[in-house]
Structure 1
């Protein structure tokens, strides 16, 4: 029956996206590109955004029907809400910046604590830990993963494809059907997000997918697998940290622009090449660990 749900979720989401895109275009509810972003992206201004709302809602509904683990459903729904508030604020203000950083961070921390409260304290990397350490570690991971996917969402299809290559090996290894259903809805989104994208997932999608990825590892006690399955997300985040740190300390930039996908874009790589190479690297590392752990 789960296979039927997965196929049905894919079909429904694929049907709804053209309708959603048409409505967003009619009312001119589109993405505002960051002023500090590369000039190559100016043509993307006005592209319908917050597309994540569809795969978050469809996945949540089917998750309830399938009686999927509550923490996984909550991670999608709650972080999807944070992202939607941010996207709505951005559209309303007609600016790339929606919520203030501290507002978004506070909501992410509070929702992470709430999600973690539905799980028992488990060992971390095989070592017993206190309840405080458990909460502190997983709040850091969930918020970090959520923001990492958000940072990676800068090129058509990049965040979506890297996320798919991150979660699929874990889903197959742990035989989790609900995560495969979420993958199906994200793949339907990617049908319309491939360059030139007809729609962006927005923070609604990126924050939800990042939180789901981390919560999946939390639920299955798979933090080591998560680290190997999220290599590109980790590199993207580190590139921002290194860039900001280097500039503040030495007034020098390590990359032409961060996150690092923009660096490769500015040295001449096409978006399709960056998406393909990053996704392939992420998949190879994730699958390699999966094979070794069997």
Structure 2
């Protein structure tokens, strides 16, 4: 909304133009979300403790996690507030791209809230039945895809951008809607699976959203997009604000979520953040870039799939426990070591992903 105030002030003094520049808004949105998370964090943690909103540790998990039993959960509320409020202030909320990301954040956050609430209420780690969670996620994702198709004149496109093969742009036609659906739902669940150690998932979110902020910036610039041979998307510049806000909010939440965590984000945070990343990648036509930068999420998801398949087909497990971060825990790796190494891997993958933007 601030952008409209700036336009009004500019009529009195042209120097106010700097306040509406993309660079200024990106920096100030990052700082706003970061400090807002720091500001509301202690209050929300205190309220969650008072209301006995505490994490229920899975009974079959690593024994070292027993000391985490009772840690407040639903910390994703901190994340969502510190993302959505700055977005509404510093971006153009009437931009379709911004609207779609906020829609996913709120709707997936609500599904996660129900899941977390049921876990706390029933004092077990089951929560919302998987089939119902998947149904809700699917309906929300398909609704978004329908909006893209019906409303977004330059949002909906069926061309696929392939890393390392810039001159090959296959057209997926109506199947693109199916791809968009799987990217949103798949990323949301992949992030949810990865959220198992203190701070493990939030820092990759920070790295990837920062990477997408850069991608959104060059995508919305005619000269840069032409030089990099990527699709020019005029209104994608507002996604820069969205991405920097997610980055700032993630770092602010990490202040409380770092080992040993004072609060867990819960499904209200992980489902929303994963869905938002998937949505941003679709809007920027960079679904395969997300696959590269989010390699840790892919690894965690594959470890669960392989564990289940091997157990059903061969009767034994290939990992001590899935997702794979638990496997390393049971092998004796200290939790902070696993967390930091996964962060390092993600940072490297983000740089690799960004390097593919120039690859032809």
Q: Distance in 2 between matches of 1:293 and 1:7?
A: 27
- Name the counterpart of 2:92: 67
**Matched position secondary structure for 1:28:** coil
Aligned counterpart in structure 2 of residue 257 of structure 1, from 295, 309, 321: 321
Unaligned runs of at least 5 residues, structure 1: none
Q: Distance in 2 between matches of 1:221 and 1:27?
A: 43
- Name the counterpart of 2:11: none
Q: Distance in 2 between matches of 1:77 and 1:115?
A: 13
Aligned residues: 293
Q: How far 1:108 moved relative to its partner?
A: 0.3
The yes-or-no answer on 1:187 pairing with 2:251 is yes
Q: Distance in 2 between matches of 1:238 and 1:168?
A: 25
- Name the counterpart of 2:280: 216
- Name the counterpart of 1:54: 78
Quick check: 2:281–2:287 contact (8 Å CA) kept in 1? yes
The yes-or-no answer on 1:110 pairing with 2:174 is no
- Name the counterpart of 1:20: 44
Q: Distance in 2 between matches of 1:233 and 1:273?
A: 18
Q: How far 1:45 moved relative to its partner?
A: 0.9
The yes-or-no answer on 1:245 pairing with 2:321 is no
The yes-or-no answer on 1:199 pairing with 2:270 is no
Aligned counterpart in structure 2 of residue 231 of structure 1, from 291, 295, 306: 295
Give CA-to-partner distance per residue, 1:195-253, whole Å, 9 cap, x none.
Answer: 11000000000001110111010111011211111100000000000001000100111
TM-score (norm. length: structure 1): 0.96
Q: Distance in 1 between matches of 2:172 and 2:355?
A: 28
Q: Distance in 2 between matches of 1:263 and 1:6?
A: 35
- Name the counterpart of 2:334: 270
- Name the counterpart of 2:108: 79
Unaligned runs of at least 5 residues, structure 2: 1-18, 20-24, 149-155, 162-168, 218-239
The yes-or-no answer on 1:144 pairing with 2:186 is yes
The yes-or-no answer on 1:174 pairing with 2:174 is no
Q: 1:275-294 counterparts in 2 under 5 A?
A: 275-294=339-358
Q: How far 1:62 moved relative to its partner?
A: 2.4
Q: Greater Rg, structure 1 or structure 2?
A: 2
- Name the counterpart of 2:64: 40
Deviates more, 1:135-144 or 1:230-239: 135-144
Q: Distance in 1 between matches of 2:181 and 2:307?
A: 24
TM-score (norm. length: structure 2): 0.79
Q: Distance in 2 between matches of 1:181 and 1:167?
A: 9
Quick check: 1:79–1:108 contact (8 Å CA) kept in 2? yes
The yes-or-no answer on 1:127 pairing with 2:170 is yes
